[in-house]
């Protein structure tokens, strides 16, 4: 596996749902292609653009919004700032008017059914998530570029190595859990402290803290909005949103007016085990219902698993009375390091590794982060991450109808609960007696991913995707 320098802001990206690999990645790839045209000074000469979607991007592209993402990316829109309420209206305008404003500068004719091709039976060798952009110029020349969306919003161009930040001298270059443990033992630093030290190689600490807080604000707003939005999710499965109704039942009429007072109202419900389970499930459902509705979310580390870490973080805030900037930054920093180890040693792409690469990794990240924030040692943090992933090994990706709804939304609740359980187990255990290391689990996960049948890797060709009638309600 290629070695990478991975920042907090690589593992946590602000974007628009429903998928980091099928929506955010292709969106970024389209933006990069437009930039190629600008850099070569030929944008104004473009008369036609073709988009070729291969493999998993073709098979589940419509359900995951890949077509929407590439059109908006080619139009010069950015997923961090674009108005989520204008996603569908703008795409409909492109389809009906048959016009695309390339890079927001060059109007060209564009026919959705002729210029956007889903090559269901073709795959490229490097990665299942491949997209080729072709631009035809008025002088008869053509420019073609191929990109791979490798999970978590990471994009690699053909013939490039893994996409990385510019080379910097990290104080603690880490690729494995063992290297991380050695660095912590040598310095006495917590994992989050080591991460923050590394981040200074890219930017001042205050800038990092502000960026991480912006990530939390996006998570916070997503949870709150999801807990107060009713209706049916888009896509044709007619899945009813449940978070808002569950939130209303949990609160039992307790009044609140904003996120802060909502936290207090939620905390006032007590610590009954069933109540806590309902709350964690509600938090996870809220995020992934927003994700499925093309809402603003944070890849954590992917969109399909975007509800696990927020749900566990919100659990920590509510039930451990830790609505505190330092603790929240500590949580996110620790989670990012765990996630980077999985990305470097295995994959965070469901198209490569099945759902173990998404829900499994996010659960491990959340478990490790919660453990450190609850006072666990560095060894207990790694033990918690190992426990969480150990019980997700082999989890397949089988979205019904190619939509990130069934079973994806409920899987986020399971991943969150497993993360909390893993943290509790690690905190009550002696990690010196652990039989399985985090590195062993990462290696096993990658071997499992390579052995897994392709129909269980985000193709909607196997599992529940072909066993459940599209007319059945989610259960």
Q: Does 335 score more than 90 pLDDT?
A: yes
pLDDT of 158 = 74
Burial grade of 249 (CB within 10 A; 0-12, 13-18, 19 or more):
exposed
Model confidence band, residue 471 (pLDDT cutoffs 50, 70, 90): low
Q: Which residues, including other chains, have CB under 8 Å from residue 446's CB and lie 6 or more apart?
A: 1, 345, 346, 347, 353
Q: Does 123 score more than 50 pLDDT?
A: yes
Q: Report the C-alpha gap between 5 and 13 in whole angstroms.
A: 16
Q: Does 30 score more than 60 pLDDT?
A: yes
pLDDT of 74 = 98
User: Apex CA 193: angle with CA 192 and CA 194, to 5°?
Assistant: 90
Write down how long the chain is: 475
Q: Does 167 score more than 80 pLDDT?
A: no
Q: Report the C-alpha gap between 309 and 367 in whole angstroms.
A: 9
Mean pLDDT across 136-143: 96
Mean pLDDT across 112-125: 94
Kindly report the number of other CB atoms within 10 A of residue 417's CB atom.
20
Would you give the distance in Å from CA 312 to the centre of its chain?
15
Q: Report the C-alpha gap between 99 and 89 in whole angstroms.
A: 14
DSSP collapsed to 3 states, 199-252: HCCCCCHHHHHHHHHHHHHHHHHHHHHHCCCCCECCCCCCCECCHHHHHHHHHC
Q: pLDDT digits over 354-412, tens only?
A: 999 999 999 999 999 999 999 999 999 999 999 999 999 999 999 998 899 999 999 99
Percentage of residues of the chain with pLDDT beyond 90: 87
Enter the tokens of residue 331: 């949580």
Q: pLDDT digits over 54-85, tens only?
A: 998 998 888 889 999 999 999 999 999 999 99
Mean pLDDT across 416-431: 97
pLDDT of 163 = 44
Q: Which residues, including other chains, have CB under 8 Å from residue 193's CB and lie 6 or more apart?
A: none
Q: pLDDT digits over 451-468, tens only?
A: 999 999 988 899 999 987
Architecture of domain 18-157: 2-Layer Sandwich (3.30)
Q: Where are the domains of the chain?
A: 18-157, 177-467
Q: Report the C-alpha gap between 429 and 100 in whole angstroms.
A: 58
Distance between first and last Cα of the chain: 39
Kindly report the number of other CB atoms within 10 A of residue 205's CB atom.
11
- Strand-pairing partners, residue 397, are 457
Model confidence band, residue 168 (pLDDT cutoffs 50, 70, 90): confident
Q: Report the C-alpha gap between 387 and 415 in whole angstroms.
A: 12
Q: Report the C-alpha gap between 126 and 130 in whole angstroms.
A: 8
The answer to whether 382 touches 177, Cβ cutoff 8 Å, is yes
Enter the tokens of residue 180: 């991380």
Q: Report the C-alpha gap between 410 and 280 in whole angstroms.
A: 11
pLDDT of 365 = 98
Mean pLDDT across 145-172: 79
The DSSP secondary structure of 103-160, one letter per residue, reads: TTTEEEE--HHHHEEEETT---SS-SEEEEEEEEETTS-EEEEEEEEEETTEEEETT-
Q: Does 160 score more than 70 pLDDT?
A: no
Mean pLDDT across 435-444: 97
Average pLDDT, the chain: 94
């Amino acid at each position: 596996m290629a070695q990478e320098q991975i920042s907090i802001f690589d593992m946590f990206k602000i974007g628009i749902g429903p998928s980091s690999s099928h929506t955010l990645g292709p969106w970024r790839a389209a933006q990069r292609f437009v930039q190629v045209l600008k850099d070569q000074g030929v944008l104004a000469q473009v008369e036609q653009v073709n988009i070729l979607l291969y493999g998993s991007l073709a098979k589940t592209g419509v359900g995951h919004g890949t077509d929407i993402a590439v059109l908006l990316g080619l139009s010069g829109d950015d997923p961090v700032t674009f108005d989520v309420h204008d996603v569908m209206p703008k795409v409909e305008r492109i389809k009906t008017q048959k016009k695309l404003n390339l890079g927001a500068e060059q109007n060209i004719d564009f026919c959705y059914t002729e210029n956007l091709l889903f090559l269901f039976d073709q795959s490229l060798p490097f990665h299942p998530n491949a997209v080729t952009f072709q631009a035809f110029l008025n002088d008869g020349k053509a420019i073609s570029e191929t990109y791979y969306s490798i999970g978590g919003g990471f994009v690699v161009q053909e013939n490039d190595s893994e996409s990385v930040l510019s080379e910097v001298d990290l104080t603690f270059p880490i690729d494995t859990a063992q290297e991380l443990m050695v660095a912590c033992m040598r310095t006495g630093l917590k994992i989050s402290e080591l991460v923050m030290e590394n981040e200074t190689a890219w930017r001042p600490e205050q800038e990092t803290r502000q960026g991480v807080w912006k990530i939390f604000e996006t998570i916070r707003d997503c949870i709150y909005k999801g807990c107060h939005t009713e209706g049916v999710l888009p896509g044709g499965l007619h899945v009813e949103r449940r978070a808002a109704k569950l939130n209303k039942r949990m609160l039992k009429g307790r009044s609140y007016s904003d996120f802060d007072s909502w936290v207090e109202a939620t905390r006032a419900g007590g610590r009954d085990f069933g109540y806590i389970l309902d709350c964690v499930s509600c938090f996870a459902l809220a995020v992934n219902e927003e994700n499925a509705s093309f809402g603003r979310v944070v890849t954590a580390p992917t969109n399909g698993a975007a509800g696990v870490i927020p749900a566990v973080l919100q659990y920590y805030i509510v039930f451990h009375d830790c609505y505190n900037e330092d603790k929240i930054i500590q949580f996110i920093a620790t989670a990012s390091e765990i996630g980077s180890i999985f990305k470097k040693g295995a994959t965070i792409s469901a198209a490569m590794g099945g759902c173990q690469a998404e829900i499994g990794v996010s659960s491990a990240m959340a478990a490790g982060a919660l453990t450190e924030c609850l006072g666990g040692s560095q060894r207990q943090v790694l033990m918690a991450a190992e426990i969480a992933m150990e019980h997700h090994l082999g989890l397949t990706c089988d979205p019904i109808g190619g939509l990130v709804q069934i079973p994806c939304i409920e899987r986020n609740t399971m991943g969150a609960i497993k993360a909390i359980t893993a943290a509790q187990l690690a905190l009550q255990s002696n990690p010196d007696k652990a039989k399985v290391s985090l590195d062993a689990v990462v290696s096993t996960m990658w071997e499992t991913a390579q052995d897994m049948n392709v129909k269980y890797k985000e193709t909607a060709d196997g599992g529940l995707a072909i066993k459940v009638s599209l007319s059945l309600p989610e259960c």
